[in-house]
Amino acid sequence: MKPLRRWQSECIVQALAHFQNGRHFFVQATPAAGKTRLAAEIAKCLLEKGLIDFVICFAPTREVVAGIQRTFTDVLQKRFGDTIGAVGAAYTYQSMAYQSNDFWDIFNKFRILLIFDEIHHCAGHDPLLSNSWGQKILQYLQDQATYTVGLSGTPWRSDSLPVALARYSDPDERLVCDYCYDLRTAIRDGVCRAPRVTLIDNSMIQLVEEQENSSSVRLFSGVAQLLGESPVSYEDLLRHDDILNAVLDIGIHKLGKVRRVVPDAGGLVVAADIEHAHQISEILHAKGESFVVVTSKTPRAHDVIEQYRHSDICWIVAVSMISEGTDIPRLCTCLYLSRIRTELHYRQVLGRILRKIGIEDDMAWLYVIAEPVLRKFSRRIADDLPDDQATLQTKKLAEHLEKARTDHGAALISNSGGAEVEEASAIEHKKYPEKSKLLVNSDFLTLSFSNYYRQYLLSLI
For each of the domains in the chain, give its residue range(s) and CATH number, in order of start.
Answer: 6-181 (3.40.50.300), 193-386+438-458 (3.40.50.300)
Contact 347, 154 (CB under 8 A): yes
d(CA 83, CA 73): 12
Q: So what's the pLDDT on residue 281?
A: 97
Q: So what's the pLDDT on residue 399?
A: 55
Contact 313, 266 (CB under 8 A): yes
Label residue 387 by pLDDT band (50, 70, 90). low
Q: So what's the pLDDT on residue 444?
A: 62
Q: Angle of helix 62-76 relative to helix 35-48, nearest 10 degrees? A: 40
Which of 102-111, 401-410, 431-440 has the least mean pLDDT? 431-440
- The pLDDT tens digits for 172-198 are 778 889 999 998 899 889 999 988 999
- The pLDDT tens digits for 192-234 are 998 899 999 988 999 988 776 777 889 999 999 999 999 999 9
Evaluate if residue 302 carries a pLDDT over 90: no
Q: So what's the pLDDT on residue 200?
A: 93
- The DSSP output letter for 191 is S
Q: So what's the pLDDT on residue 406?
A: 61
Label residue 403 by pLDDT band (50, 70, 90). low
Label residue 324 by pLDDT band (50, 70, 90). low
Question: Of the ranges 13-17, 29-33, 80-84, which is most confident?
Answer: 13-17
Model confidence, pTM: 0.81
Please compute the mean of the pLDDT values over residues 394-414 and round it to a whole number. Answer: 48
In terms of pLDDT, which residue wins out, 13 or 430? Answer: 13
Say if strands 194-202 and 453-458 run parallel, antiparallel, or are unpaired.
antiparallel
Evaluate if residue 102 carries a pLDDT over 80: yes
- The pLDDT tens digits for 413-458 are 333 333 222 222 222 222 322 323 344 444 467 888 888 788 887 7
The 10 Å Cβ neighbour count of residue 134 is: 29
The 10 Å Cβ neighbour count of residue 218 is: 13
What is the radius of gyration, based on Cα positions, of the chain?
24
Please compute the mean of the pLDDT values over residues 327-355 and round it to a whole number. Answer: 92
Evaluate if residue 81 carries a pLDDT over 50: yes
d(CA 131, CA 135): 6
Of the candidates 112, 123, 111, the one whose C-alpha atom is nearest the C-alpha of residue 166 is: 123
